[in-house]
Amino acid sequence: MIAAPAVAGADLRTIMPVTSRPPVVMVRGEGSWLWDQEGKRYLDFVQGWAVNCLGHCPAVIRAALAEQAERLINCSPAYYNAPMARLATLIAETSGLGQVFLCNSGAEANEGAIKLARKWGRRHRGGAFEIVCMDHGFHGRTLATMAASGKPGWDAIFPPVVPGFHKVPLGDIDAVAKAIGPATTAVMLEPIQGEAGVLPASDDYLRELRALTRERGVLLILDEIQTGVGRTGRLYHYEHAGVVPDIVTLGKGLGAGVPLAALVASDAASCFEFGDQGGTFGGNPLMAAVGVAVLETVREPDFLHGVTVKGQYLARRLAELSAELGHAEVRGRGLLLALELVDTDAVKVARSAMDRGLLVNAPRPTSLRFMPSLTVSMDEIDQMVDLLRASFP
Ligand code: PLP
């Protein structure tokens, strides 16, 4: 047992132990680098689980926070504020969907999507409320989003499970066609299942789902909390497939490190009435100002092209390493990639990497996941590959 580090004036045992944490305290971040209390430096290819899309403490976010904090931090969601309006407008303009509800976490955005689909089903599909979701999907940790997720074992933790979610295997369009019945209001999925180990839905499958949901008169909900805001080289992953969903949810990168998420819907799907949805912090000017700075940065000419180029480079370097060490496929898109290992414990590799000053994540016992800042440099990718090579047993 490694002793917990000491923090002046603090007792780490007061932090509810909901996850196992290594015995370090992080104190500073800059770009792709993170420093702990002892001064040790880490090359960060986790970035808060694909959250810090512009790296640690980027100047543009510090400036947005400082400027907005001088002007107005919170006025209550009962009133309009300028950053809220600007962010909603930017999301609407870029997504092809006209209605935006700002909130604080991915789970909250997805919970809102589920509520909206149920309301739409009540209004337009004779009371339909069921949602077809994917095995191994991940949509959050509220009771409804856990029920929508397809994580094995999750249905046994907090019974009774919220009803109304039907699971099918990712990629099987016939299974979706069979699962849609009179009680179905929507189909919901991640374009790339991140927490399941970076398992992509193909562009063809997304196009088939769009056609099928139109034909059967149900909504298509895409959870782009991990894939959205440039992570895969397009602002929204669904652009790769050339489709537009009825509802999309955004989080993580939208706030670049601050709690910000969005439920985005077409005008036709958007049917909340006053009182149906809300939240104390939703659309507060401080967080919304950050979202505006993020979207304006990611939309700069060449930014997304840079993500594609660096994603291809990272994929190539990982494939070379995999071939050298006898491991398996590299999968994913843009800067959301996984390396599949052969006869090797990915959790142990991730731990050994941390000892060497590299942060990578093992979402499955045999997969390593890479989700660096979208501003990562080619040189940092090379440094990562060298540190990773040294981390294998
Ligand atoms: N949906 C997806 C695809 C995610 O990857 C996550 C978080 O990892 C969530 C939803 C939940 O987001 P949050 O942790 O902000 O509630």
| Residues 336, 192 share a domain | no
Residue of 49, 53, 139 with the most ligand 1 atoms within 8 Å of its CB, for mutation: 139
| Residues 362, 227 share a domain | no
Answer whether residue 50 is part of any domain.
no
3-class SS of residue 376: coil
Residue of 151, 252, 287 with the most ligand 1 atoms within 8 Å of its CB, for mutation: 252
Answer whether residue 356 is part of any domain.
yes
User: Which CATH number belongs to the domain containing residue 96 in this structure?
Assistant: 3.40.640.10
Cα–Cα nearest to 195, from 168, 227, 165, 173: 227
End-of-domain residue from the set 298, 313, 336:
298
pLDDT given for residue 1 in this prediction: 47
| Residues 326, 194 share a domain | no
pLDDT given for residue 95 in this prediction: 98
DSSP per position, 15-73? S--SS---S--EEEEEBTEEEETTS-EEEESSHHHHT-TT-BS-HHHHHHHHHHHHH-S
pLDDT given for residue 308 in this prediction: 98
Q: How far is the CA of 163 from the centre of ligand 1 (A)?
A: 20
Our count of domains for the chain comes to 2
Q: Which atom of ligand 1 is nearest to the CA of 49?
A: 8
End-of-domain residue from the set 260, 275, 298:
298
Q: How far is the CA of 249 from the centre of ligand 1 (A)?
A: 10
Q: Is 252 in the active site?
A: yes
Answer whether residue 311 is part of any domain.
yes
Q: How far is the CA of 28 from the centre of ligand 1 (A)?
A: 24
- The CB density around residue 279, as the number of other CB atoms within 10 Å, is 15
Pocket of ligand 1 (CB under 6 A): 49, 105-107, 110, 138-140, 190, 194-195, 223, 225-226, 251
Give the whole-angstrom CA distance, residue 222 versus residue 248. Answer: 5
User: Which CATH number belongs to the domain containing residue 393 in this structure?
Assistant: 3.90.1150.10
Answer whether residue 255 is part of any domain.
yes
Model-wide pTM > 0.95: yes
Answer whether residue 143 is part of any domain.
yes
Q: Which of 119, 129, 223, 246 is catalytic?
A: 223
| Residues 346, 293 share a domain | no
3-class SS of residue 297: helix
Q: Which atom of ligand 1 is nearest to the CA of 193?
A: 3
pLDDT given for residue 5 in this prediction: 86
Q: Is 303 in the active site?
A: no
- The CB density around residue 386, as the number of other CB atoms within 10 Å, is 14
pLDDT given for residue 4 in this prediction: 75
Answer whether residue 306 is part of any domain.
yes
pLDDT given for residue 160 in this prediction: 97
- The CB density around residue 393, as the number of other CB atoms within 10 Å, is 7
Answer whether residue 99 is part of any domain.
yes
| Residues 346, 288 share a domain | no
| Residues 201, 189 share a domain | yes
Task: Give the pLDDT of the chain (393 residues) as one tens digit per residue.
Answer: 467 789 999 999 999 999 999 999 999 999 999 999 999 999 999 999 999 999 999 999 999 999 999 999 999 999 999 999 999 999 999 999 999 999 999 999 999 999 999 999 999 999 999 999 999 999 999 999 999 999 999 999 999 999 999 999 999 999 999 999 999 999 999 999 999 999 999 999 999 999 999 999 999 999 999 999 999 999 999 999 999 999 999 999 999 999 999 999 999 999 999 999 999 999 999 999 999 999 999 999 999 999 999 999 999 999 999 999 999 999 999 999 999 999 999 999 999 999 999 999 999 999 999 999 999 999 999 999 999 999 999
Q: How far is the CA of 125 from the centre of ligand 1 (A)?
A: 28
Answer whether residue 377 is part of any domain.
no
Q: Which atom of ligand 1 is nearest to the CA of 252?
A: 15
Q: Is 223 in the active site?
A: yes
End-of-domain residue from the set 298, 332, 358:
298
**Chain centroid offset of residue 222 CA:** 11
Residue of 193, 226, 231 with the most ligand 1 atoms within 8 Å of its CB, for mutation: 226
Domain range for 307 is 301-368+382-393
